[in-house]
Structure 1
Amino acid sequence: MSGCSCAILCLIFLLLTVACSPDNVGGLTTYHVHVDASKIVQNLTHFWESTGFCPPLPHQRADQYDLSEDEVQNLALIGSVPLGGIKQVRIHWLLDLVTARLESGHPVYNFTLLDNLVDNLWQNGLYPGFELMGNPSNIFTDFENKTQVYMWRDLVYQLADRYIEEYGDGYVEMWNFETWNEPDHHDFDNLNFTVQGFLNYYDACSEGLKKASPYLKFGGPGGACRQPSFSRICWALLEHCSNGTNYFTGETGVRLDFISFHKKGTPGYSMTILAAEMNTIHKIQTDYPKLKDVPIYNNEADPLVGWNKAEEWRADVRYAAMVAKVIVMHQKFIIGAGMPFSLLGNDNGFMNFHPNYFQQRTLLARFQMNKTEPRSVQFVRKPVLTVMGLLSLLGEEEVYGSTDLPDRNSLSDMNSPVDVLAAVHTPSLEHSSDSWQASVLVYSSNDTAEVVNPMATVQLNLNNMRPPENTTDMMYVLYQLDNQHSNPYNVWLKQGKPVFPTRQQFAEMRAAEDALRFGPKPFPTSGSMSLSTPLPRPGVLLLHVCAKPEQEPDQTTSVRLHKITDDTVLVLWDDKCVNSRCLLTFEVEFSSSSQKGPYKRINQRDQIFTAFVYSPTQISSGLPVTTVHGWYRVRAVDYWGRAGEYSLPQKL
């Protein structure tokens, strides 16, 4: 057995042993965290920037969900995470948005509905995790029929070529094209899918994509990959890609650009996600050594099976802290062990249903305002989406970070309730708005359990927090996400759980969306600092240290206005061209008079998310505002108070 395999088996044993362990250090009230920004550990690829959802039945009417006003807002707010903190939205049944008719025995496809969804993703800086799943107008019936196998290949080619033509190679090459979701559950949309038929389908997908561009990614099997007696298609596909015969070329082996599976947690325990992953990775690498270097995706790594189960921990910071914990554990224990782990997806892009506004597996709380005329919908950001904004501030290189808890290889500390992930960012361009940064994320999580001792203290000992050029002008900001300050669900409970909140009640909930911010404050010129701060449980801390950029932030771009009601508008913008992560806030300004102004700032609270819901009840400055119709503009302000250029004004 190879050394790598031995290491995997040992790690599986450790994970399984401690998965149900109690909080081993629950008696401690102070945690010491040590960070050395000069010691690079490994790359940090932001492998967690993925979510997903499934439209409800019937699949053939997926457009009523995917293209609804509710989904338009949902995707816009998911896309508002700063710095592209969520990029991929993996969506089931996409091909049921395509319709087909036969002309002289040949299919003619209408992609209009799918076009609309892809364009909505693109507008919001997102891209699809594109499962080649669905049956356009039910014209396919049997993938052991040669004619239909070739028809499917041509459909996939037309689809990929269409979007390359529309959006360019660069955008479509980011997509993860994937096989049918959970094939061993046999939900095949009226298709007769034998094991051999699925392998034929796989080859048709692969060849269709390759014909459009050899640079498109395609993988699978996108299922649980449990024991072979249950997951026959999963293991048959891995065997096929490793040793089988390509249906179209006759060659041995078929390309597999990534191996995707779904490993979720058992109720209450995040460690079981890693234990299940390691067990499956070990079996794949043992049985199929040719695939040992293929990237691994767990694109449904949720703490609990069942998106619609109402769980109170999904409503508050427990869920956010648990997501952060799972990400840190993957970086340290799976990627750190040399596994080719490349994507961790939380399948939490769903939209809740009454009466569970916050408690389902969603990123936002949806309120369907059915008493308005016309009907409207409004959303409130949950802590689990806010934490994605904090994670986006991490750099691309992990640096040394440790706690005073037992060694990370010990059995007793594998499932730590507190841990740290530190990283640095080095700018790619000199003399720009970008600069050297260091970030330190600390989580405090007892998974989904109720917290007995909710408050502790963390002592941050920071060393060598200096950019390579020894810049002495640095600032730091500390963000704190906790249930006292960042809990819209608690606000909603105190309001009496309104089904149709008033504008004032929405304003109160949204006031609790963001993490509490301390600073910016000057960072010592020595590059070292010791900082003591409260550590709530559940909670997430993010310390962000920035060297002063030579230039102020660049211009904010792509302001868009989405009317929610006659007196409420969703203002959206893009931060891709700002070229600075060291942002104190975006300032959103409004003029009811003219494009030239005068303008007044309308977002009272500082924010780094790129979306703002504007309603007159949320306006201050001592001036009553009775309309949302007028001109809007946005600019970025950095930690030094320097403002970038305003966006081009947009009129509603």
Structure 2
Amino acid sequence: MERAVRFSPDDFPSYSRSLPFFLLLLLLALPISQSAWSQPTPNSADIQVHFDQPQSPFSPIWTYFGYDEPNYTYAVNGRKLLGELSALDPEPAYVRVHNLLTTGDGAASLKWGSTNVYTEDAAGNPVYSWTILDQIFDSFQAAGIRPLVEIGFMPKALSTHPEPYRHNFPQGSIYTGWAYPPKDYQKWSEVVFQFVRHLRERYGDSEVKTWLWEVWNEPDIDYWQGTPQEYFKLYDVSVDAVLRAFPEARVGGPDSTGPANPKAAEFLRSFLDHCAHQTNYVNGKIGSRLDFISFHPKGSPKWRGDYVQMGIARQLAAIEQGFKIVASFPEWRRTPIILGESDPEGCAACSARTNPQNSYRNGPLYAAYTAEMLNHIIFLASREGIKFLGAVTWAFEFEDQPYFEGFRTLATNGVDKPVLNAFRMFGLLGNERVAATSSGAVHSEDVIRDGVRGQPDINVIAARKDHEVEVLIWNYHDDDIAAPATLVDLAISGLPAKTSRGLLEHFRVDANHSNAFSVWKDMGSPQSPTAAQYEQLQRAGQLQLLTSPAWVPITQGGAHLQFNLPRQGLSLVRVTWE
């Protein structure tokens, strides 16, 4: 067994480049309260990474995003954020948006958007307008984004209940005329056909064949004001139209809600049964085309009077149940699954100002939750033997809203939030996972059942590239309460025997690093920051190093590092060599 170099924290003051050891030890001053110290926390966590023990390919399941308001796509900050999403990983990011067929003038508001693709003249003849739609898809193309095209919602001219059509969130119901079935399925089929044909002609076969297509959103609840059977008909008609326009298209659904709910579980089963065993509404044959399966797991955070308690167990229960349902169908067991919306709760446009349980969104807790969730999704996919493609984070940006209002967004007024830096960390991971263990890890089965309510989950994902190893470590707990940091003892073994040194880079997300929210609060929470303040916020929103890069010794194929990791903090340690 190859030996990793060891170093004691007591030796830190005497560290110099001449020593045959290396230490990086950060003591973070955290606010300490009675509740903080009463919460259980391990004093240390031993993490072992085995570079020479590859486990499996590591695909970028995190590069999927979405949002309700498609017209924000081509706003200045929207274009900026698309570019940042595209830069997360060498593999292109996918983006899913609502309202691509919704009637309107293109003016966006919370939970609303429109393209005015289809209207009718006085005689009932179709009138197509692609101007707004092209702005959306041109922005995707310019940023290198691949669309996960959501076919919806119902144009006003086709709705069986067209009035009222535009909602006024947060006043009143959002489920207005756009949510109803078509009054003429043949006309709907033609709209979908023309929609797909236009995109194919504009962007070309080689590009469009990389896209994904799905039908509607959450048809098991009020997003669809029809019956399940009417949705199955809509699905069959829509898929037929897509494939007539572009036979190479990959189509899926149903993007129903989280199947931890029995009603949602039954809808998903019925849809899968329809696609496998029931009569197709278009061709009269048995079965419907289904290239991927999608549903929406959500968590359930609670406000506990003076802190947020995350509800990760509920989200994982929905994923577990959905995976089991898919695996129960021999026809679909190996069909790729996309979590079409995978989030800590269910309302991106509900701010923390009016919903205090959503106050997790501005700081590092959202980042740590994201790492925790993705790790356990990978576990569940492996355990259930299903093919997992990706998880859509339903978060983007809102225009003309206050700074750090507490919406579920990746950026606020062009300033990146800590959660985006969690995705940047994932993007630094290599494409081959290697063996890694943590003595501070909470077992996935326990997290799925109970959440993280006792000891924090100090967990790890390690990966590798040529001449490089990357280690992502996070310290997560459901309760957003101050607690002592945990000393992480990281040992990396199995490095090339002839390598004598490596370049260490240590990236960090916590209360003081990669955190524009903390910087903004320190400024006095300005809603009209000066140019200098805005520039400072922009810098603070980027992924930051904990310390300057440094050469570290590699002895007998091993390297060693110690550092303190705060609660809800993330570290990405990267070691490269020639």
For the pair 1:340 / 2:374, whether they are aligned, the reply is: no
For the pair 1:313 / 2:313, whether they are aligned, the reply is: no
Compute the TM-score of the two structures, normalised by the length of structure 2.
Answer: 0.77
- Given candidates 289, 300, 303, the residue that maps to 2:341 is 300
Alpha-carbon contact 1:198-1:233 (below 8 Å) kept: no
Alpha-carbon contact 2:403-2:527 (below 8 Å) kept: no
**Matched residue, 2:60:** 46
Provide Cα deviations, 1:261-288, integer angstroms capped at 9, x if missing partner. Answer: 11111211223211221123223433x3
Compute the TM-score of the two structures, normalised by the length of structure 1.
Answer: 0.69
**Matched residue, 1:532:** 562
Question: Which structure has the higher relative contact order (CA within 8 Å, separation 6+)?
Answer: 2
Q: Secondary structure at the match of 1:215?
A: coil
**Matched residue, 1:174:** 210
Q: Secondary structure at the match of 2:542?
A: coil
For the pair 1:75 / 2:122, whether they are aligned, the reply is: no
Q: Secondary structure at the match of 1:500?
A: coil
**Matched residue, 2:411:** 364
Alpha-carbon contact 1:477-1:543 (below 8 Å) kept: yes
**Matched residue, 1:571:** none
Alpha-carbon contact 2:147-2:211 (below 8 Å) kept: yes
CA gap of 1:316–1:162, structure 2 versus 1, over 3 A, is same
Provide Cα deviations, 1:238-267, integer angstroms capped at 9, x if missing partner. Answer: 221011112222221111111111111121
CA gap of 1:103–1:251, structure 2 versus 1, over 3 A, is farther
Cα distance, 1:474 vs structure 2: 4.5
Matches within 5 A, 1:333-412: 333-335=380-382, 337-351=384-398, 354-355=401-402, 357-366=404-413, 379-405=414-440, 408=443, 411=446
| 2:98 partner amino acid | H
Which structure dedicates a bigger proportion of its chain to strand?
A: 1
Alpha-carbon contact 1:298-1:343 (below 8 Å) kept: yes
CA gap of 1:498–1:136, structure 2 versus 1, over 3 A, is same
Q: Secondary structure at the match of 2:560?
A: strand
Runs of 4+ that moved beyond 6 A: 22-25, 142-147, 470-473
Cα distance, 1:129 vs structure 2: 2.2
Aligned equivalents of 1:490 and 1:110: distance in 2? 45
Aligned equivalents of 1:480 and 1:197: distance in 2? 49
Cα distance, 1:443 vs structure 2: 0.7
CA gap of 1:354–1:146, structure 2 versus 1, over 3 A, is closer
Alpha-carbon contact 1:33-1:460 (below 8 Å) kept: yes
Provide Cα deviations, 1:371-427, integer angstroms capped at 9, x if missing partner. Answer: xxxxxxxx21111111211110111121100012478477499845210001123xx
| 1:71 partner amino acid | G
For the pair 1:258 / 2:265, whether they are aligned, the reply is: no
Number of corresponding residues: 491
Aligned equivalents of 1:258 and 1:53: distance in 2? 20
Where do 5+ consecutive residues of structure 2 fail to align? 1-35, 103-114, 162-178, 302-309, 353-357
Aligned equivalents of 1:407 and 1:442: distance in 2? 13
Aligned equivalents of 2:182 and 2:421: distance in 1? 49
Aligned equivalents of 2:390 and 2:510: distance in 1? 27
Alpha-carbon contact 2:341-2:391 (below 8 Å) kept: yes
Alpha-carbon contact 2:351-2:405 (below 8 Å) kept: no
Aligned equivalents of 2:379 and 2:228: distance in 1? 37
Aligned equivalents of 1:132 and 1:108: distance in 2? 18
| 1:87 partner amino acid | A
Where do 5+ consecutive residues of structure 1 fail to align? 1-21, 56-61, 367-378, 426-434, 549-652
Provide Cα deviations, 1:271-317, integer angstroms capped at 9, x if missing partner. Answer: 3211221123223433x332222222222211122222313321111
**Matched residue, 2:319:** 277
**Matched residue, 1:541:** 571
Aligned equivalents of 1:397 and 1:336: distance in 2? 19
- Given candidates 315, 322, 333, the residue that maps to 2:369 is 322
Q: Provide the identity percentage.
A: 27
Cα distance, 1:181 vs structure 2: 0.7
CA gap of 1:463–1:337, structure 2 versus 1, over 3 A, is farther
Aligned equivalents of 1:313 and 1:239: distance in 2? 39
Q: Secondary structure at the match of 1:289?
A: coil
| 2:315 partner amino acid | I
CA gap of 1:68–1:505, structure 2 versus 1, over 3 A, is same
**Matched residue, 2:147:** 128
Provide Cα deviations, 1:221-244, integer angstroms capped at 9, x if missing partner. Answer: 112154565677544322210111
Q: Secondary structure at the match of 1:155?
A: helix
**Matched residue, 2:457:** 417
